[in-house]
Amino acid sequence: MIGLDLGSTAAKMVWIESGEIKFRITPAHNWKELVEGIDGDEIISTGYFRNSVPHRASLTELTAAVYGVRHYFPDAEVIVDIGGQDTKVIDVRNNNFIINDKCSAGTGAFLEFVANYFRIGLEELGPMHLNARRIPDINNTCGVFALSEMISQLVGGYSKEEVIAGMHYAFARRISHMVPEARSIVLIGGTVKNEGMVAALRNILEKEVLIPDEPQIINALGALEYYS
Amino acid sequence: MNKIGITALVPPELIFACGAAPFDVNNVIPASRKYPGNKLCAWTAIWKEMLIKKEITVDSLIVVAGGDCHNALVDGQKAAMSGIPTHFFFYPFDGDLEYLESQLHRLSGFLGGIRSPEVLKKIQELKKQGQMLDKKRCRGKLSSAEAFRILISFSDLTGDLAGFSRAISALEEKDIDVRNRVALIGVPPIYHDFHEVAQTLGLHIVFDELPYEFIRHGGCDIKEMARDYCGYTFAMPLESRIDFLKKELRKRKVDAVIHYTQFACHHMLEDEVLREKLDYPLLTIQGDLPGNTPQQIKLRLEAFREMLDRL
Ligand code: SF4
């Protein structure tokens, strides 16, 4: 049996081999390669396109996240899943959830937008943030308007690294409005690999921030665990 | 028979009794696929635009302003400025019976006075049938989509009492697998297939808050109507509405609540109070433009169902 998370940007596949979690990740459009030779009856699917792939069972990424996170943090209270197109906050204690899918600020798409503006790879944002000495205030809650603020901070003398750090803080503030009171939160989703964004979130939330080893495969793992 | 547009709940029995046919301008919106230019709430923006462009033709218009919706008050005035004879109807916030009675007299005056009092009994009878339908779907003898389609039409009884009566009689009993009993509170969803979608995702809606108001009130003269419609929960203080909801939810043994809110509608501000006071799993969703239930809303409904399955 495999867990397959077919999201808007990446496809993640998880299976268990001799008690060990194994996984593969490809860009979403290559998902077919991932499951080549695997019978639909062997697939538990989740993610935005969960119903576009053959499957034995499917579940939403919100439920998958609860099961996947439980594997690493059985006492998790709140899960924040920062995806490519949306951000989901799940309060495991009372089964509540909020999804931001209306505005790009606070989703992976926003960070991609920033990276594109500076003509750098998404993976460079984190290391650049860590080189910032000052953090400019970027207040705009709209992703597109934040860009003009970003430009004015550059014109005003802040370095590229500092403006990127400022954007991460704007991003973190946006997400913090969705997060309920809790001792700790678990961060999942591909965006979590950005250590600058995580640092900003830690600072803004003032909570313990837990991150599983492979934050990107949690939902695929959760799909598998849900079914077994 | 004059066709009288109404923008929210106005006693339809009074309009019929004055020899006219009510027409709820909201009822064409979910299937309209209209995307209005200048808008806050799509409901008022669309009916305003359709009235001005004469895509909806009415002889006159009654705008429910007080105790209901300020967007309607403004968009109603814009419609009035286009030349449609318009009357503004106000519910009292404090349940003042005399005030509501005087409002109903003014409305009756605007419509030329009561001419056919005999229809009042007939409408009372139809509303009783509506209550029976509501009970049936609560017992799983009617799909929530079919029940909703009839219940929502009680705001104007489709302007045709005989036709509406036939539509009610044509409903056939069914056996529905009612597992997750859900109450849908707030204004009705702007999506025309919402109840079907909820049903296919395993959520059976056993209570529609606003349509229930449409079948709950009536009266055989203005005094009775005033007494009855004074309890129109949407016009009352929030606490009274919540007390009423609590009773209904208990009676219908609901497992969970969906609070539908509309983009740019003040009812959204009630969400946190409803969450605090109603002791049920509660999903808040927000709609904007009419059409099919969008994927994002379906995801929320499905995740909510999965969550209920886990409880
Ligand atoms: S949804 Fe809200 S704003 Fe829109 S017409 Fe209804 S009450 Fe008014």
For residue range B112-136, what is the model confidence (pLDDT) as tens digits? 999 999 999 999 999 999 999 999 9
Collapsing DSSP to helix, strand or coil, A100 comes out as strand
How does B145-164 read in b/e, with b if 16+ C-beta sit within 10 Å?
bbbbebbbbbbbbbbebeeb
pLDDT higher than threshold 90 for residue B39: no
Fold (topology level) of B119-310? Rossmann fold (3.40.50)
Measure CB to CB from residue A63 to each of B281, B306, B311 and give the nearest one.
B306
Average pLDDT for A153-165: 94
Is the distance from CB of B161 to CB of B16 less than 8 angstroms?
yes
Q: What is the ipTM of this complex?
A: 0.86
Amino acid A107: pLDDT? 82
Average pLDDT for B225-242: 95
* Annotated domain spans of chain B: 3-110, 119-310
Q: Which residues of A touch B310 (CB under 8 A)?
A: 63, 95
Q: Which residues of A touch B307 (CB under 8 A)?
A: 62-63, 95, 97
What value does the mean pLDDT of chain B take? 95
| Domains of chain A with bracketed CATH | 1-73+214-228 (3.30.420.40), 75-211 (3.30.420.40)
Measure CB to CB from residue A97 to each of B303, B310, B311 and give the nearest one.
B303
The pLDDT tens digits of the residues spanning A160-209 come to 999 999 999 988 998 999 999 999 999 998 888 899 999 999 999 989 99
From the number of C-beta atoms within 10 Å of its C-beta (0-12, 13-18, 19+), residue A5 rates as: buried
Helix extents (H) in B53-143: 70-81, 97-110, 119-138
pLDDT higher than threshold 80 for residue A139: no
pLDDT higher than threshold 90 for residue B107: yes
The band of B24, judged by pLDDT with boundaries at 50, 70 and 90, is very high
Amino acid A9: pLDDT? 84
Atom number, ligand 1, closest to the C-alpha of residue B41: 4
Amino acid A95: pLDDT? 86
Residue of chain B whose Cα is closest to the Cα of A95: B307
What percentage of chain A exceeds 70 in pLDDT?
97
Measure CB to CB from residue B299 to each of A60, A95, A96 and give the nearest one.
A60
pLDDT higher than threshold 80 for residue B203: yes
**What's this model's pTM, rounded to 2 decimal places?**
0.92
Q: Which residues of B touch A48 (CB under 8 A)?
A: 299
CA-to-CA distance for A170 and A196, rounded, in angstroms?
12
The hierarchical CATH code for the domain B3-110 is 3.40.50.11890
pLDDT higher than threshold 90 for residue B67: no
Determine whether the shortest distance from the Cβ of B71 to ligand 1 is under 6 A. yes
Determine whether the shortest distance from the Cβ of B43 to ligand 1 is under 6 A. yes
Amino acid A143: pLDDT? 67
For the sheet with B282-287, list strands across it: B204-208, B181-186, B256-262, B282-287
- Cα of A99 to nearest chain B Cα, Å: 8
Is it true that B3-110 and B119-310 share their CATH fold? yes
Residue of chain B whose Cα is closest to the Cα of A64: B303
Phi, psi for residue B179 in degrees, rounded to 5? -105, -60
CA B146, B200, A44 angle in degrees (round to 5)? 180
Atom number, ligand 1, closest to the C-alpha of residue B262: 1
CA-to-CA distance for A140 and A146, rounded, in angstroms?
5
CA-to-CA distance for B129 and B77, rounded, in angstroms?
36
From the number of C-beta atoms within 10 Å of its C-beta (0-12, 13-18, 19+), residue B301 rates as: buried
CA-to-CA distance for A69 and A210, rounded, in angstroms?
10
pLDDT higher than threshold 90 for residue A106: no
The band of A141, judged by pLDDT with boundaries at 50, 70 and 90, is low
